[in-house]
Structure 1
Amino acid sequence: MSTMDSSSRLPSIGEYYAGKNIFLTGASGFIGKVLIEKLLRSCPNVNKIFMLMRPKKSQDIDQRVEEICKCPVYDKLRKEQPNFHEKLVPIFGDITLPELGIKPEDLKLLCDNVNVVFHSAATIRFDEHLRVAVDMNVIAVRKMTVLCKQFKHLEVFIHISTAYANCDRPFIEEMVYNPPVDPQKLIDVLEWMDDDMITSITPKLIGNKPNTYTYTKHLAEHLLVKEGSDLPLAIVRPSIVGAAWKEPVPGWIDNYNGPSGLYVAAGKGILRSMKGDYRGVADIIPVDIPVNMIIAAAWYTAVTKPSSCLIYHSTTGSVNPFTWGELEGVVMNFWKKVPLDSCFRRPKAALTSSGFLHDFYTFIEHMLPAYVADLGYCLLGKRPRMVKIYNRLHKAIGTLTYFTMHSWEWSYSNLDMLTSHMSPEDKKCFYFDPRGLHWPTYIENYCLGTKKFLLNEDLSGLPAAKAHLRKLRNIRYCFNTIVLIAVWRVLIARSELARNLWYLIIGLMNRFVKFFRLTSTIHKQ
């Protein structure tokens, strides 16, 4: 319940963020970049955004910020606010370091100024070692909780979790479920175990969870509400975050995670088979939807001061479902119309729930062509690569199989409640209701986004790409014809029945040709 009467006028979202200082972790991530862009463009009076950042690849934190600001996601913002980068303040730190590695002078700066906290940093690798996953997804939340308790002007702390934190349940409500083990007990155990021992007991620890990511995200939520009970908290749970729907650019994407890599693999003709439920719900959420929800949830928490931590689901499955089978059809049709450059084979992928059929197709359609291609590379004096590519692809598919074979439902009471408190202008600007999403258009924009933003392919090369597809089609037809003739010749040589059938076909063809010539002669006379 809120301490403010819902009938009283709330400040608009833009009004609330005016003059506010924000602390953001995960600023260089997919959600982080879009969150920064949306905040600065739609709430232009935001004062500063402090970003926890570590040096990377011979770049210090200032150089990393400069590189991030050059990203295409900020093109629209750059035109409206050329000096937007002046509001971005990097803070040296790392979520894996003690006390986040923040320097004393930076800590004082944050404690004296921060009003809003968005915690987005995490490891999103599904196959991450449990020790690393706990360190980055659980212990880091504790460090953030301790840090936020020192902020003198903190108004809200938003934790970005995942809709799959409780994926061992078919129906997930807006609540924090009790974890299978107390987070502190697990942390204590991991301190004295070596990596091999942890690896051996991980399957038993995670139980019905498919991976360490969902397992540690569940633990992190419980730890947060327990140890941060005196903080103004809210949790946002997005499902599979995909390319942008409307903003900042339709189809914008900057990573190969989740479906993005699969779309590219299918478009290149590399992915031919994937295990999944044809009728299962593909719960993909465009990145701008959870970003808008994060901003709105922070606003509502700060201005109404709810008495408990509210959970917000940012998913599509229960309100606007789209199946994996429907997704496959849209993706394949799009790649035929707008092919990628230099395809390995013609785009043609099949979804099957049968493990036997998937293994069969994997061997016939993936590994055999891969070994043949690598043999060709070796004969040409080039480095073989296709087998290695397919091994990586199969590993990625394996981590996603659990999600393509299952479907879930979520409750949306808090989503509807949050919408009811927003003004018509804010609803339009900070949209987060997925009911209006038209899936075929979105998926086509998504595929186009992978072509433009991930592969950097220009549409001017489309005629050449189509010509390459026709070439691959002709090669395929020639290959099939050669194989058919070779098999038939073997049958003729070994089977009298096959020889008789062959002679019958040849005889009928001769009669047809003679009849056609006779008919043509009569017509001429």
Structure 2
Amino acid sequence: MTTIPEFYTNKNIFLTGATGFIGKVIIEKLLRCCPNVKAIYCLIRPKKGQTAEERLKKILDQKLFENVEKNMPDFQEKVRAIHGDIMEEGLALFDSDKEMLLNTIDIVFHSAASVRFEEPLRLAMEMNCLGVRRMVQVFKQCKRLEAFIHVSTAYSNCNKEYIEETIYPPPIEPQKIIDILEWMSDEMLDLVTPKLLGNLPNTYTYTKNLAEHLLITEAEGMPVAIVRPSIVSAAWREPIPGWVDNFNGPSSLYIATGKGFLRSMVGDSTAVADLVPLDLPVNTIISVGWYTATEKPREPLVYHVTTGSQNPFTWGEIENMVGNYFKRYPLDACYRRPKVRVFTPNSFLHDCWVLVSHLIPAYMVDMGYMIMGKKPRIVNLYTKLHKTMGSLKYFTSHEWKWTYNNMAMLSSKMSPEDQKVFYLDCHAIHWPTYMENSCLGTKTFILKEDLNGLPAARAHLRKLRNIRYMFNTMLLVILWRLLIARSNLARNSWYFIMSLVFKFVRFFKITSTISQK
């Protein structure tokens, strides 16, 4: 078999989701490790007054592509924007572009999707399910197609605890849901959505489940494969350790913890958190494209890109590391000091903590903002945070087992050099180092904070610590005086304790004066 870089020599790639987290790094990895690829065509829709070409140029000018530019100064000429939209019939392609693509494309990577868990069902179906149908309809006519790689999710069957590398029967035929969309109003659809979801937690996993079945049914005869990553998080080794550019997944929780907003969240600290570093699914997608085209499997294969069953890492370990790392490398302008333990298994206890640690302080701070003539914002921020927490609760309270036979087979077919360049093995991940890089990546790449500002951030954290000690002391004194110190015994105990405190302070003041002399 040819090596992966040799296979991609002079190949034309079509990529959806090029503006997304995974899509950007697919482009970067192909250009850096398969430099003789002929062209990468990216389906991009105009947005916010920017053309498809302008959006692509903005991506390629990012720091992400610095290493590529060093070895290939003209790399941007190989990446071309194709005006289109996954939510429109025929992908909204111009006739000239469509004809060119059907005559030139060798490999298709379909990674475009709506990753919002609570997306309305109509929009999630349009993007995640009907988008697959439109892709199949277009590229079934492609004359040179060697591989069509669909990026799904490991949670497309999360209603099962043990998930194999197979396409499970869908909860309902996709076409029946598509038919419902034709006549049912948004209000009616919102009412029936919980019933349709059944034991799947949200519209994202539901539509991804339907999309897999739709793909296998309608892409019959096409060289199709499915890649299922779990919770995709910051890069491990490439392109930059800790690189991340969005608030999806765990990044929003890291920031909320680091800023001191998140004090409690429903979850099982002993459950395995199936984080998968970004570079592993990217390497898998590219490798699966090579294997599908060269080996031509008789039926579509499914590949699980997860870590939980091979290199387990719990939510409790994550919360401990994130809290401690953000004390060492604090974020700028923290709201409160990071709390190390945030996961609460009991829902009632969590609600109590939310009231005491989230809502009451939020309303107090917003009241202060209003007194100073500023716009209140903390309560609104907590509203968004609680919505995110609610979306993630299912995944922080459960754990799953996946099979890896196809991944093992794929790795065995790769040459030793390809195994190094397109590494797939998660056993070598050292989670403490990875989490430290992830926290720093969140600070530098998402929040755009300069590491030179760490001394000021640490001073601010010390200030918050002193404020907390003063507040707790005052609260203790008030409670003692109001609730306890009504009897002579309590009053005498209070005077005795305060006298000891004054003697202690006086002793150290005298000792300090003598030592100075």
- Rounded to whole Å, the distance in 1 between the matches of 2:349 and 2:73 is 55
The aligned amino acid for 2:488 is: E
Match of residue 97 from structure 2: 106
Question: Alignment partner for residue 413 of structure 1, among 373, 395, 405?
Answer: 405
Q: Is 1:393 matched with 2:357?
A: no
Query: Taking every aligned residue pair, what percent have the same amino acid on both sides?
Result: 58
Q: TM-score, normalised by structure 1?
A: 0.95
Cross-structure match for 1:454:
446
Output the amino acid matched with 2:463: K
C-alpha separation in 2, matches of 1:513 and 1:144: 75
Superposition deviation, residue 491 in structure 1: 3.6
Structure 1 SS opposite 2:257 = helix
Greater shift, 45-54 or 349-358, is seen at 349-358
**2:110 matched to 1:123?**
no
Q: 1:501 to 1:428 in 2, by over 3 A?
A: same
3-state SS of paired residue (1:435): coil
Q: 2:68 is matched with which residue: 46, 57, 77? A: 77
Structure 1's 514 and 340: CA in aligned 2 closer, same or farther, altered over 3 A?
Answer: closer
* Structure 1 position 369, deviation (Å): 1.0
Could you tell me how far apart the structure 2 residues matched to 1:208 and 1:306 are?
A: 33
Paired residue type of 1:469: L
Counterpart position of 2:269:
278
**In structure 2, C-alpha distance between the alignment counterparts of 1:238 and 1:58, rounded to whole Å:** 33
Q: Secondary structure at the match of 1:346?
A: coil
Determine which of 314, 320, 329 is the counterpart of 1:338.
Answer: 329
* Residues 196-275 of structure 1: pairs in structure 2 closer than 5 A: 196-275=187-266
Aligned partner of 2:53 among 42, 53, 62 = 62
Paired residue for 1:29? 20
SS in structure 1 at match of 2:270:
coil
* Equivalent residue number for residue 435 of structure 1: 427
Aligned length: 511
* Change over 3 Å in CA distance of 1:338–1:41 after alignment to 2: same
Distance 1:514 1:348 in 2: 34
Q: Of residues 23, 33, 48 in structure 1, which corresponds to 2:39?
A: 48
3-state SS, counterpart of residue 197 of structure 1: helix
Report what 1:12 is aligned to: 3
Query: What is the CA-CA distance between 1:496 and the residue it aligns to?
Result: 3.5
The letter for the 1-side match of 2:164 is: E
Shifted more, 344-353 versus 146-155: the winner is 344-353
The 3-state SS of whatever aligns with 1:436 is coil
Question: Separation in 1 of the partners of 2:396 and 2:167?
Answer: 25
- The whole-number CA distance in structure 1 between the counterparts of 2:177 and 2:502 is 81
SS at match of 1:52: strand
Report Cα offsets for 1:232-287 as digits up to 9, x if no partner.
Answer: 01000000000000000000000000100110110011111111101001101011
Report how far residue 503 of structure 1 moved: 4.0
* Moved >2 Å (runs of 4+): 491-497, 500-517
Q: How far off its partner does 1:483 sit?
A: 1.4
Distance, in Å, in 1 between the alignment partners of 2:500 and 2:6 is: 84
1:265-414 equivalences in 2 (<5 Å): 265-349=256-340, 350-414=342-406
Q: Is the 8 A contact 1:491 1:498 kept in 2?
A: no
1:151 to 142, 157, 179: 142
Answer yes or no: is 1:178 the counterpart of 2:162.
Answer: no
Partner deviation per Cα, 1:399-436 (whole Å, 9 max, x = no partner): 00000000000000000000100000000000011111
Q: Tell me which amino acid in the other structure corresponds to 2:448.
A: N
Which position in structure 2 is the counterpart of 1:470?
A: 462
Using the TM superposition, give the Cα deviation of residue 22 of structure 1 relative to its aligned residue in structure 2, in angstroms. Answer: 0.4
What is the match of residue 5 of structure 1?
Answer: none
Q: Aligned partner of 2:450: which letter?
A: D
1:466 to 1:51, Cα distance in 2 relative to 1, 3 A = same
Unmatched runs of 5 consecutive residues or more in structure 2 = 512-517
Tell me the alpha carbon deviations over residues 212-245 of structure 1, each in whole angstroms, 9 at most, x when there is no partner: 0000000000010111011001000000000000
User: Which residue of structure 2 aligns with residue 132 of structure 1?
Assistant: 123
**Is this contact kept in 2: 1:342–1:468, CA < 8 A?**
yes
Q: Structure 1: how far apart are the matches of 2:502 and 2:164?
A: 73
Q: Secondary structure at the match of 1:257?
A: coil
Counterpart residue number, 1:479: 471
Q: Give the secondary-structure state (helix, strand or coil) at the position aligned to 2:427.
A: helix
TM-score (norm 2): 0.96
Matching residue's letter, 1:124: V
Deviations 1:130-153 (A, max 9, x none): 111111111110111111111100
State the distance in 2 between where 1:222 and 1:187 align: 13
SS at match of 2:148: strand
